[in-house]
Amino acid sequence: MSGVWVFKNGVFRLVENPQAEASDGRHGKGSSSKRKVLVHLPSGEVVSSYAFLEQVLTGLGWERYYDGDPDLYQFHKHSSIDLISLPKDFSKFNSINMYDIVIKNPNVFHVRDKHDDLIGSEKQKKQKEVVLITTVCLPVPIFHGLAHLKR
């Protein structure tokens, strides 16, 4: 019996293959555990819209490119031959698009698994759960006087 013990909603359970299981308990490759997010390293923010992405890319010298395919959201740099092409619909923005941005903007962006991206209160909540578990599990010695220390 091997795996990882997971504490969730007040219950411990053994997960034999944690990579194949999503945080909501679903199994398989179609689960959200394989989803990726693009992170802007200087701010630590997840890119959650093209508006934010365009603001960052513009600051890096990229400009919108309007002469290409109308179904794509495109950026180019005058100083290079690079072109970033993204689907118009942000919900179709995938890891291939993310890695394209990372390669063309080194040390500015990073691609991470979505489950690694715990934000604010959720991260603190998970830390509190761990602390609570450790606190409950640690024995505390109780001394009745100092007589046993005299010699």
Could you tell me if residue 25 is inside a domain?
no
* pLDDT recorded at residue 77: 92
* pLDDT recorded at residue 59: 95
Domain count, the chain: 1
- Report d(CA 65, CA 85) in Å as an integer: 9
Could you tell me if residue 57 is inside a domain?
yes
User: At residue 38, what are phi and psi to the nearest 5 degrees?
Assistant: -95, 125
The residue segments making up the domain with residue 81 are: 38-118
Could you tell me if residue 94 is inside a domain?
yes
* pLDDT recorded at residue 5: 76
Could you tell me if residue 14 is inside a domain?
no
Instruction: Give how far Cα 74 sits from Cα of 50, 55, 82, 102, 143, Å.
Output: 11, 13, 10, 15, 71
Higher pLDDT, 52 or 129: 52
Query: Is the predicted pLDDT of residue 116 greater than 80, yes or no?
Result: no
User: At residue 132, what are phi and psi to the nearest 5 degrees?
Assistant: -60, -45
**Helices and strands (H and E) in the chain: how many:** 3, 8
* pLDDT recorded at residue 126: 53
Quote the Cα angle for 54-48-78, to 5°: 20
* pLDDT recorded at residue 29: 47
* pLDDT recorded at residue 151: 53
Could you tell me if residue 17 is inside a domain?
no
Percent of the chain exceeding pLDDT 70 equals 62
